[in-house]
Amino acid sequence: MVQGGSDLYERIWKVARRIPRGKVATYGMLAALAGRPGQPRLAGYAMRNVPDGSGIPWHRVINARGEISPRAGGSIESGMQRALLESEGIRFDETGRIDLNAYLWKARIRR
């Protein structure tokens, strides 16, 4: 078990679980809510290390441009992510973008 690192991942995963169905969050947002503002890459690492079948809605995490971030290797999961989002009622435009103004999850800062 790695110290610190896994703790950081769990913190980010915990935030990701709070994303409601039909809404999306950005990597930068997850990082900020996890206590690491300005470090969106850490959220990307956490998503990459999400245990399969953990129940974490990793597909609801997209980039700040409102698009699905292409993963390394161009695996089929990128297409699966879009399918999952569409099944939740989220629509994509011709350029493959999502209307963040309508679907972005408005999270509240923990006190």
Helix crossing, 5-17 with 40-48: angle to 10°?
Answer: 90
Q: How far is the CB of 4 from DNA (least distance, A)?
A: 6
Residues 6+ apart with CB under 8 A from 46: 8, 9, 12, 13, 16, 30
**22 binding DNA? (CB under 7 A):** no
Q: Which amino acid is at 22?
A: G
Select from 14, 17, 48, 91 the one that contacts DNA (CB under 7 A). 48
Distance in Å, CB of 89 to DNA, minimum: 19
CA distance 54 to 93: 30
Instruction: Give me the 68-107 binding string for DNA, x by CB under 7 A, dash otherwise.
Output: -xxxx----xx--x-------------x------------
Q: Considering the complex, state which of residue 45 and residue 92 has its C-beta at the smaller distance from DNA.
A: 45
